[in-house]
Amino acid sequence: MAKLHISTTINGEPIEFLCDPPQTMLEVLRDQLGLTGSKEGCGSGDCGACSITVDGRLVCSCLMLAAEAEGHRLETIEGMARGDQLHPLQKKFVELAALQCGICTPGFLVASKALLDRNPNPTETEVRYWLAGNLCRCTGYDKIIRAVMEVAADMRETAR
């Protein structure tokens, strides 16, 4: 099968890779580019563990072909911290124990950031609906929702 040559931008860096047409973005991120933060929970769009953004739009990387990355800007969990400086969402997840085993966490963080980038003042209901595509086996969700609400409040405070 002829390999496709793809040029894209991942977490602000220009990246080129070769892929087979049926390969998913998630496979290439994890197996070829070493970006293993995005997880495969289901491979069928149900769990959100593979969440990334493409041109700022939240998507499941398991339901995107790697070839589709051509010319677009991708953000993965690896781009969230600035060096050693965790993103406020990451800090709050740790502080409030909004994770246990952690496999869902990159997906929740990417999805939560996509929400707050768009809506800095969400209601709890909005947060719950926004995160309905992310499944967590461990936390029971409440701590996650609370963490997102607190970060939103903190960020509004700092922005003031």
Ligand X SMILES: Cc1cc2nc3c(=O)[nH]c(=O)nc-3n(C[C@H](O)[C@H](O)[C@H](O)COP(=O)(O)OP(=O)(O)OC[C@H]3O[C@@H](n4cnc5c(N)ncnc54)[C@H](O)[C@@H]3O)c2cc1C
Q: Which parts of 64-103 interact with another protein (CB under 8 A)?
A: 64-65, 67-68, 70
Q: Whole-number minimum distance, CB 149 to another protein, in Å?
A: 17
Question: Residues with Cβ < 8 Å from 93, sequence gap 6 or more?
Answer: 99, 105, 108, 109, 144, 147
55 makes contact with ligand X (CB under 6 A): no
51 makes contact with another protein (CB under 8 A): yes
Residue number with CB closer to another protein (2 or 159): 2
Size of site (CB under 6 A) for ligand X: 3
Q: Whole-number minimum distance, CB 94 to ligand FES, in Å?
A: 12
How far lies 109's CA from each of 3, 51, 133, in Å? 32, 9, 12
Residue of 7, 22, 31, 46 that binds ligand X (CB under 6 A): 46
28 makes contact with another protein (CB under 8 A): no
Q: Whole-number minimum distance, CB 30 to another protein, in Å?
A: 16
Please state, in angstroms and rounded to a whole number, the distance separating the CA atoms of residues 47 and 55: 21
Helix or strand (DSSP H, E) at 12: none
Helix or strand (DSSP H, E) at 58: strand 57-60
